[in-house]
Amino acid sequence: MPIIFDSEKKIFKLDTLNSSYIFEIYNESYLVHLYYGKKIPDYNLKDFPNRRMFASFSASNPHMDDWVFSADVFPLEIGCNGCGDMRISSLQIRNADGNASTDMRYVSHKIYKGKPALKGLPALYENEEGECETLEVTTRDCVTGAEALLLYTVFEKYSAITRSVIVKNTSDKPFSIEKVMSFNLDMNGKDFDLITLYGRHNNERNFERRPLSHGRQGIGSRRGSSSAQQNPFMALLRHGATEDYGDAYGFNLVYSCNHLCEIEVDFNNSSRVMMGIDPSDFSWKLAPGEEFYSPEAVLVYSDEGLGGMSRTFHKLYNNNLVRGPWKKAKRPLLINNWEGTYFDFDDDKLFDIAKWAKETGIEMLVMDDGWFGKRNDDTCALGDWEVNEDKLRGGIGSLVSRIKGLGLKFGIWYEPEMISPDSDLFRAHPDWHIHVPGRESSIGRHQYVIDMTRQDVRDYLFNKISEVLRNNDIDYVKWDFNRNITEAGSAILPPERQSEFFHRFILGTYELMGRILEAYPHILLENCSGGGGRYDPGMMYFSPQIWCSDNTDALSRVDIQFGSSLCYPASVQGAHVSASRRSGYETKRNVAMWGSFGYELDPGKISEEARAEIKTQIADYHKYYDLIHYGDLYRIISPWDDPYRVAWEFVSEDKREAMLTVVIKFFTEARNFFIKLKGLDSEKYYKCLEDGEVYSGALLMNAGISMFYYPDRDGESFALHFEEVK
Ligand code: GLA
């Protein structure tokens, strides 16, 4: 039983393979957090949070002994605004009478097998009955009639817990939710480093580590997407913990829009952690009887440092987040024409690329931006989802048949949530773009964003995309999103609901994606947002792979992939070999192999030598597909530790096979060093396929491989494969 409730002591204990999460019902009303960390057998923690005596000025509940309890200092499972808890709130409701005091107390709870769906939202799911267990705690504000249901689902074998909150209006008056975070976790102590992933277009998910300090700290996005600037992920690493050892807590929000990931360290050195919808431009009106679902957050604990935390996320997401027929099926090896041709292509040009692709062993052609309307550059035509017959003579059908005739699959690019001011669609429906009356709309990449809160807009898009998918044998869709949202407003929402815009926008996007996949379940959907601007678990629920970054230069890409790997599995990471300037084709291949591999070039523009080299890469792609997609990732040398070289390793689950990849970013004379592998079986013997030698797992992990004999010039790289020998 992963969840137990001790009805005498009023304590909940949620156990996973390696972690325990414990809280109590204090004085029949407050939910007091007791512990989250390495698995412990017992829960004699009652006196743990007793800090009241250290707090002066903190107000307390008039019915309780104020030397013992104050909502300001006790670690709580929900942090409400305005009733004694002065830390950052996880719930704030503007009541019908205008005040924002909110006070949720325990009412009841249920423990059940399974996991409830979150209406309209992506979320982790269970594969077979009984895989998960859920605790649902109902809390209630007895003055306003607002209820908050706290959901905890335990994924026992992954040391993961998902959290979310459902707010209900059980009163007879409407109220507004001004802030609802998906969880509130009051950790004991502040001896942690905060790790986050910052970046920008072409340079996503850089690793940043800083010690927690008193007061508020955190990250967020107000861009209308989860963003390249701050991924909705954070980790807390106990001081002294490393890649391989010590307490690591990972937090990830299953959401693709504005988010806030915040921590406040209080005067008692307690750290309040929360994640959820960014409240700064959000409120949600809830009529009597209505309910509101927060997005889900995923909490992972590992005592094997950051590496253990990452591997847990990878397995969990491969098994319980990514869905559909492509979840475990082998994905087609693709070539995308974008970096090869940009907008300058026609059907013959694509056919030429496809012919070469077929001879080379590539399995799918993806036609990128520029096939519709008058789109010969990025200044126009988004929204005009009609084929451009000057480019594709005979329409999409004719091109698809030609490509299929070669025996390749076919993929197509869309950017459904956008509308160009210079488009027939905009001329017909100017009010369909997101805008604020009387204010000039900002422009980004010459485009506006379309109002996904509107059913008529979503129906239009569904029908337009359907016409193409229904009438043509298309296997893959690349779904792009290439700007931030500004002047956020909808022509159809009443003034008091304009603050619901961002959340309604993403619910609309999720609905359309879901509807398309339901109608065309065979489609492999690859998300993209100028590369990795929506590289988040919300999108991964629809999209088994996501274009990781527009930066395809292998030496930059490798850093982006390291950052991404903190939380997201290789199977999701779209990674292509391109004709980018730096590094040879071997390094391009070695880097792109760490992901959903493909090509992004015009074979007519690369050397004969490069084309020949690509042919040899394809066999390795097939050979190592499972190892990379489903093996365990070990970061051996990370870019945040070493500016000169990076190394990573995949180990199969049965530990019979491994692949070590090393990339020399900059040559240094200090190259007399050994790389120690990780995650092997120390009892097993492995043959290195490159040097033909046999080594014990113990030797490889403790003595390591000397790097002296391997490439050592800027931009060079190598991969070593190890197979068990009996
Ligand atoms: C974005 C994507 C690219 C490409 C272009 C097309 O930048 O990230 O891969 O699809 O749009 O305009």
Q: Which DSSP string corresponds to 298-315?
A: EEEEESBHHHHHHHHHHH
Place of tokens 């492509």: 326
Q: Please tell me the distance between residue 236's alpha carbon and the centre of ligand 1 in angstroms.
A: 34
Looking at residues 500-522, what average pLDDT do you find? 98
Categorize the per-residue pLDDT at 51 as very low, low, confident or very high, splitting at 50, 70 and 90.
low
Q: Is 547 in the pocket of ligand 1 (CB under 6 A)?
A: yes
Q: Please tell me the distance between residue 418's alpha carbon and the centre of ligand 1 in angstroms.
A: 13
Q: Which ligand 1 atom minimizes the distance to the CA of 413? A: 10
Residue 353 pLDDT exceeds 80? yes
What is the pLDDT, as a whole number, of residue 68?
77
To the nearest 10°, the Cα dihedral for 479, 233, 302, 35? -130
Helix (H) or strand (E) segment spanning residue 205: strand 203-211
Alpha helices in 361-488, H assignment, sequence order: 395-405, 424-428, 455-471
CB atoms within 10 A of CB 191: 16
> Does residue 344 contact residue 187 with C-beta atoms inside 8 Å?
no
Residue 180 pLDDT exceeds 70? yes
Q: Please tell me the distance between residue 530's alpha carbon and the centre of ligand 1 in angstroms.
A: 5
Of the candidates 319, 456, 450, 436, the one whose C-alpha atom is nearest the C-alpha of residue 382 is 450
Q: Is 336 in the pocket of ligand 1 (CB under 6 A)?
A: no
Looking at residues 591-618, what average pLDDT do you find? 94
- Convert 247-298 into a string of H (helix), E (strand) and C (coil): CEEEEEEECCCCEEEEEEECCCCCEEEEEEECHHHCCEEECCCCEEECCEEE
**Gap between the Cα atoms of 90 and 547, Å rounded:** 33
Q: Is 371 in the pocket of ligand 1 (CB under 6 A)?
A: no
pLDDT (tens digit per residue) in 428-484: 999 999 999 999 999 999 999 999 999 999 999 999 999 999 999 999 999 999 999
Residue 582 pLDDT exceeds 90? no
What is the pLDDT, as a whole number, of residue 66?
67
What is the pLDDT, as a whole number, of residue 673?
83
Q: Which two tokens stand for residue 13?
A: 């204990």
Q: Where are the extended beta strands (E) located within 355-465?
A: 364-367, 409-414, 418-419, 448-449
Tell the residue nearest (CA) to atom 3 of ligand 1: 530
Q: Is 510 in the pocket of ligand 1 (CB under 6 A)?
A: no
Place of tokens 């008692």: 268
What is the pLDDT, as a whole number, of residue 52?
64
**Gap between the Cα atoms of 453 and 493, Å rounded:** 9
Q: Please tell me the distance between residue 338's alpha carbon and the centre of ligand 1 in angstroms.
A: 7
Q: Which two tokens stand for residue 658?
A: 């491994």
Q: For 555-570, give the DSSP string.
A: HHHHHHHHHHTTTS-G
Phi, psi dihedral angles at 687 (to 5 degrees): -95, 130
Of the candidates 647, 693, 650, 656, the one whose C-alpha atom is nearest the C-alpha of residue 674 is 647
Q: Is 530 in the pocket of ligand 1 (CB under 6 A)?
A: yes
> Does residue 661 contact residue 705 with C-beta atoms inside 8 Å?
no
What is the pLDDT, as a whole number, of residue 47?
67
| Side-chain-side CA neighbours of residue 398 (13 Å) | 11
- Among 372, 478, 528, name the best residue to mutate to test ligand 1's pocket (greatest count of ligand atoms within 8 A of Cβ): 528
Q: Which ligand 1 atom minimizes the distance to the CA of 528? A: 8
| Side-chain-side CA neighbours of residue 138 (13 Å) | 13
Q: Which ligand 1 atom minimizes the distance to the CA of 478? A: 10
- Which CATH number describes the domain made up of 633-725? 2.60.40.1180
Residue 535 pLDDT exceeds 90? yes
Three-state DSSP class for residue 155: strand
User: Between 622 and 48, whose confidence is greater?
Assistant: 622
Strand-pair category, 175-187 with 91-94: antiparallel
Tell the residue nearest (CA) to atom 2 of ligand 1: 530
Q: Is 480 in the pocket of ligand 1 (CB under 6 A)?
A: yes
Categorize the per-residue pLDDT at 65 as very low, low, confident or very high, splitting at 50, 70 and 90.
confident
Q: Is 528 in the pocket of ligand 1 (CB under 6 A)?
A: yes
Residues serving a catalytic function are 480, 550
Residue 709 pLDDT exceeds 80? no
Domain boundaries, the chain: 3-320, 633-725
C-alpha to C-alpha distances, 540 to 84, 160, 518, nearest whole angstrom = 39, 18, 16
Q: Please tell me the distance between residue 105's alpha carbon and the centre of ligand 1 in angstroms.
A: 49
Classify domain 3-320 at the CATH superfamily level. Answer: alpha-galactosidase from lactobacil brevis (2.70.98.60)
Categorize the per-residue pLDDT at 57 as very low, low, confident or very high, splitting at 50, 70 and 90.
confident
String of b and e for 127-146 (b: at least 16 CB within 10 Å)?
eeeebbbbbbbbbbbeebbb
pLDDT (tens digit per residue) in 605-638: 999 999 999 999 999 999 999 999 999 999 999 9
Of the candidates 243, 248, 279, 246, the one whose C-alpha atom is nearest the C-alpha of residue 261 is 279
C-alpha to C-alpha distances, 542 to 376, 443, 576, 660, nearest whole angstrom = 30, 28, 21, 31
Model pTM greater than 0.75?
yes
Q: At what angle do helices 585-592 and 608-623 cross, to 10 degrees?
A: 30
Q: Which two tokens stand for residue 564?
A: 């991404």
Of the candidates 657, 518, 638, 640, the one whose C-alpha atom is nearest the C-alpha of residue 648 is 638
What is the pLDDT, as a whole number, of residue 49?
62
Looking at residues 303-325, what average pLDDT do you find? 98
What is the pLDDT, as a whole number, of residue 711?
80
Q: Which ligand 1 atom minimizes the distance to the CA of 531? A: 8
Categorize the per-residue pLDDT at 296 as very low, low, confident or very high, splitting at 50, 70 and 90.
very high
Q: Please tell me the distance between residue 452's alpha carbon and the centre of ligand 1 in angstroms.
A: 20
Q: Please tell me the distance between residue 531's alpha carbon and the centre of ligand 1 in angstroms.
A: 7
Residue 124 pLDDT exceeds 80? yes
To the nearest 10°, the Cα dihedral for 484, 503, 230, 117? -140
pLDDT-above-90 percentage for the chain: 93
Q: Is 559 in the pocket of ligand 1 (CB under 6 A)?
A: no
Of the candidates 649, 664, 654, the one whose C-alpha atom is nearest the C-alpha of residue 700 is 649
> Does residue 349 contact residue 400 with C-beta atoms inside 8 Å?
no
